[in-house]
Amino acid sequence: MVRPRPLARPLHRAQTVATALGAAASTALLLQVLRRRPPGGAARWTRTNHAGAPVTLLEGPAYAVGAVCGALATGGTGAAPAAVAGLGAAAFGALDDLAGDSASKGLRGHLGALASGRVTTGTVKILGLGLTGAVTAALADRQRPGDVPVLATVTGAAVVAAAANMANLLDLRPGRALKVALLAAAPLAAGHDAGARVRSTSALTAAAAAGAALGALPGDLAGTSMLGDTGANSAGALVGLALVGRTGLRGRLAALTVLTALTLASEKVSFTAVIEATPGLRELDALGRRPAR
């Protein structure tokens, strides 16, 4: 009697590694191509970082497209939610990167502007991330065996949106958001989805997010490029989607609670100040980063 199950895990691991390597290579290559021929000119994508040095935001589009290329390369039904999450979140992030202003900042600032009758690009991005989360969670839950409660899908949508926003809040120092994406995606890429029938949607999505982070990390740590809203939103949405693929209602509620608490805390507390004051976190945050001039 033929027993195909023993081959499932090696095949899964090969697909996961292939996804990560494809995403890393695609991201690194795309970043080089975009730097040579920046759409609209280099000035359109150039910003000043925390140290006063010029950096390019082209890392963001390279990350988003590279991650999705990695997910699509291995095929499977899981590629569709990953493509929507990675590219959808990136599109709304790009709106804020290229057309936004600094008049309103943070969740409180954008909601305050909306209450006064002014719609900011940040507000549009918040609504867009919610829509992206809803579509990706619905697509992911349709692939799970059995009926998924509507509340679980709604919670999953909120997790994807909140994770996208959280990654953006962390993108304040070279390498920080990418390191967090790597640390969050690695365990999600290591296992199977509960009840997955063909291949692990969650693991492949996490592998794509982690691989693209590796491809973008050298330039980010060197302080020559940064994710911006485009790349950070994409990275967070992909990690959020991978988490949704591995959890049910209780796990998603727990994740949403943590993400919401951190988002609200960011309105009053500086993440950078907390990290720099905490041994261990401070060293991890600075690891590989080129000293500011």
pLDDT digits (tens, 9 = 90+) for 30-87: 999 999 999 999 999 999 988 888 999 999 999 999 999 999 987 666 689 999 999 9
Q: What is the pLDDT of residue 145?
A: 76
pLDDT at 252 over 90: yes
In Å, what is the CA distance from 125 to each residue of 54, 107, 133? 25, 11, 12
Q: Which of 64-73, 111-120, 163-172 has the lowest mean pLDDT?
A: 111-120
Residue 279 vs residues 181, 188, 193, 273, 283: alpha-carbon distances, Å: 20, 26, 35, 12, 7
The answer as to whether 215 is a domain residue is: yes
In a domain, 208, yes or no: yes
| 11 is a domain residue | no
For residue range 31-40, list pLDDT tens digits in order.
999 999 999 9
For residue 108, give its domain range: 23-286
Residue 144 lies in a domain: yes
Q: pTM score, two decimals?
A: 0.90
Instruction: Using the predicted structure, report yes or no on whether residue 144 has a pLDDT greater than 50.
Output: yes
- The answer to whether residue 18 is domain-embedded is no
Kindly report which listed range (40-44, 94-98, 196-200, 224-228) carries the lowest average pLDDT score: 196-200
Q: CA-CA distance, 118 to 116, in Å (whole number)?
A: 6
Could you say which DSSP state residue 76 is in? S
The answer to which of 45-49, 68-72, 111-115, 212-216 has the lowest mean pLDDT is 111-115
Q: Is the pLDDT of residue 138 over 60?
A: yes
217 touches 27 (CB < 8 A): no
- Please give the C-alpha separations between residue 31 and each of 46, 92, 168, 177, in angstroms, as whole numbers: 14, 20, 19, 17
DSSP 8-class letter at 225: B
| Mean pLDDT of the residues in the chain | 87
List, for residues 148-161, the tens digit of each pLDDT value. Answer: 899 999 999 999 99
- Split into its structural domains, the chain has a count of 1
Say what the pLDDT of residue 105 is: 63
Task: Indicate whether 250 belongs to any domain.
Answer: yes
More confident position, 114 or 224: 224
Report yes or no on 207 lying in a domain. Answer: yes
Q: For residues 156-182, give the mean pLDDT.
A: 96
Please report whether residue 8 resides in a domain. no
